[in-house]
Structure 1
């Protein structure tokens, strides 16, 4: 059966559906809706003023986008099919949304990621489409569902449970995952994140929780950091006293081993995880729950002074600096704020990391590679009492295991991650 995810853009429509930004601050985000509800698409804002109805469909089977434009006056339809196999997958979204641009004033943009218009609407140019959870993924047998963690501010997540829970009373480790996307694109419910966590939950035999933290432009940092802490406190409330937990989750109550709590993510998601570990080193979770490990895949770290192979002349015009200025304009110290540069003089000591073991992964083509190696070496020299490891996944770009999980290098990396999450 072909599963189609449809992203509908309606003129003058009220922004609805899970993850849709509220144009006045997203503070009253609704509870999760099925991504097939109308209109859909992660953080697709109301595109007011459009004269045509436009639709983008994505087939999870054929992995093709189908772009349709339907005129309200002529009732004609134009159809274009694009294959994932020709270019990088997320650039499909960039191509489609750019081609759908209307005569609105751009007030801010960070290409190729996001464009903000004068009417408050937003185009998230590099986001894979949302997909619904599944009672049983046909490839892995993993079950998933969407859950609400908090109502004010609204915070939701997708939780994944491996099929092994059906045949065993053995409790499972918990992995709290934060997706990549430069703090402004992708979601906990997007196609790539969903597929990746199905695979990882099955391979590692873990409960994975993908956090749908708040995004730019309406929610600059430290909103995402606070959402991460809220999620950890919510999980900890189950361990302390599940009866008193807000929105208690049966999968955690019945199947989770709270002595094996991990946090991690890719790129900016790994940055969130690091900052949570720093906070956990000085603040306690409910019931004094301890975080066992941190899994930082190509973490987004940077600084004002180039190191290693980072370009010298173009350093201050790097995309990393542009992203940080966009997502945390009020950060003290700018790009040398300890949240993005944990090795800067005066940053909190890495010896205070609030976990017992840490795995940092790097790739050969990742622009953060030298920063991540420096971070690994700095943790080793800090006097931290835990065990830190560095894993080089090969000559690939960051997050390749998510985009190309079928490749040998991706399979090897996922196995390495799974061996850590025990």
Structure 2
């Protein structure tokens, strides 16, 4: 009798299996939750919209309770290593409700395609599509039936921000670089970028990163090989290692303000601090800030269900940036 065991193409133990027949099993993730009007904890409202049909790119939009004036816009990219989680998952819904309420911003949380079904650079393409779609709402035209009313009515396009956590921080960096090289619809400029606990890596360890062969066996290396198996240079591709020799100059960041957030107990900390230092040394004309919460680990402010003192401190710092 023929074996029914499927051959595995690639996997990350306890997280995901990608089979040679193209099917994927995920063993970790938070449940999807629907959008809501007047969230009971924060008063924020949310709704889901479609940005593009081919490929399918969607988003969850958030508005704070107080909408008496034009609001800064945050285009947000969720965490999950490029292969897990969603703009619609419970942790991101809770987090965006908190952040939108505290910062008084309009947020667009992008549902980009995930690897390995859609390997990179698909996520980068989707996030750029979403940012261009947001920027298109700055263009005033007769007949705006195709426009999203929350953006038209409440968005301040002079205060457009991008940001994300972990893989989302990586996305924010790469989208900021693209915004420095290409124009956005309506001539809109990205005012600021938030790179939080960003997923950057490379073959040459720095600080406390694994040494020797251990770096090739690190979760960060294995994850990159899963989500972008065809990347030129592998783990030293500039998309994951923007500090590698030959990468585009960080002076090309297409924003005028930058906030780099790190956590003291996060394996990704040292590389983000190095990134911050190199941005400052690059000749980039903007204003860079570094914020660290020493006692915490990776993406603690999203994963913690209850608002601890450090979560409140983190969200307060993000809100102070989003002005």
Q: TM-score range by the shorter chain?
A: over 0.9
> Shift of residue 216 of structure 1?
1.0
RMSD: 1.5
Distance 2:13 2:140 in 1: 46
* More deviation, 402-411/198-207: 402-411
Shift of 1:124: 1.7
Distance, in Å, in 1 between the alignment partners of 2:20 and 2:219 is 23
C-alpha distance after superposition, 1:145-165 (max 9, x if no partner): 000111111110000000001
2:308 matches 1:407: yes
* Aligned match of 1:376: 276
Comparing 111-120 with 129-138, greater Cα deviation is found at: 111-120
Q: SS of the residue aligned with 1:358?
A: strand
2:197 matched residue in structure 1: 298
Q: What is the aligned partner in structure 1 of residue 117 from structure 2? A: 218
Distance apart, 1:205 and its partner CA: 0.2
TM-aligned CA distance change 1:246 to 1:399, over 3 Å: farther
Structure 1 range deviating more: 277-286 or 306-315: 306-315
What's 1:143 paired with?
A: 45
Query: By how many angstroms is 1:397 displaced?
Result: 1.2
The one-character-per-residue Cα deviations of 1:31-64 (angstroms, maximum 9, x if unpaired) are: xxxxxxxxxxxxxxxxxxxxxxxxxxxxxxxxxx
Structure 2 CA distance, aligned partners of 1:211 and 1:110?
Answer: 24
Q: Given the two structures, how large is their TM-score scaled by the length of structure 2?
A: 0.95
Match of residue 388 from structure 1? 288
Give the Cα–Cα distance (whole angstroms) in 2 for the partners of residues 186 and 410 of structure 1: 20
CA change 1:244–1:384 in 2 (3 A) is farther
Larger RCO (alpha carbons 8 Å, 6+ apart): 2
Aligned 8 A contact 1:158 1:211 in 2: yes
Contact 1:266 1:399 in 2 (8 A): yes
Residue 164, structure 1, aligned to residue 63, structure 2:
no
Once the two structures are superposed, residues 371-416 of structure 1 have per-residue CA deviations (whole angstroms, 9 ceiling, x without a partner) of: 0010000000001100000000222111100111511111100100
- 1:355 corresponds in structure 2 to 255
Report the CA distance shift for 1:155/1:398 in structure 2 as closer, same or farther (over 3 A): same
Tell me the equivalent position of 2:188.
289
Offset, 1:114: 1.1
Task: List, as ranges, runs of 4+ consecutive aligned residues in structure 1 with deviation greater than 6 Å.
Answer: none
Q: CA deviation at 1:105?
A: 4.6
Equivalent residue of 1:241, what SS?
A: coil
Residue of structure 2 equivalent to 1:418: 319
Match of 1:271, SS?
A: helix
Whether 1:273 and 2:133 are equivalent positions in the alignment is no
DSSP 3-state at the match of 1:112: coil
State the SS of the aligned residue for 1:248.
coil
Partner residue in 2 for 1:263:
162
Contact 1:238 1:245 in 2 (8 A): no
How far off its partner does 1:125 sit?
1.7
In 2: Cα distance, 1:175 partner to 1:415 partner: 15
Rg: which structure is higher? Answer: 1
Shift of 1:182: 0.6
What residue number does 1:98 align with? none
Moved more, 362-371 or 239-248: 239-248
Number of residue pairs the alignment of both structures matches: 318
Identify the match of residue 227 of structure 2 among 322, 327, 332.
Answer: 327
Q: Determine the structure 2 residue equivalent to 1:364.
A: 264
Secondary structure in 2 matching 1:137: coil
Where structure 2 has 5 or more consecutive residues not aligned to the other structure, the ranges are none
Distance 1:277 1:388 in 2: 13
Q: Secondary structure at the match of 2:17?
A: strand
Work out the CA distance in 2 between the residues paired with 1:103 and 1:145: 41
Structure-2 separation of matches of 1:388 and 1:246 = 39
Equivalents in 1 of 2:25, 2:286: separation in Å? 42
Aligned equivalents of 2:91, 2:129: Cα separation in 1:
24
**Structure 1 stretches of 5 or more lacking a match?**
1-101
Question: What is the CA distance between 1:171 and its match in structure 2?
Answer: 0.2
Question: 1 CA distance for matches of 2:320 and 2:253?
Answer: 21
Name the SS for the 2:32 alignment partner: coil
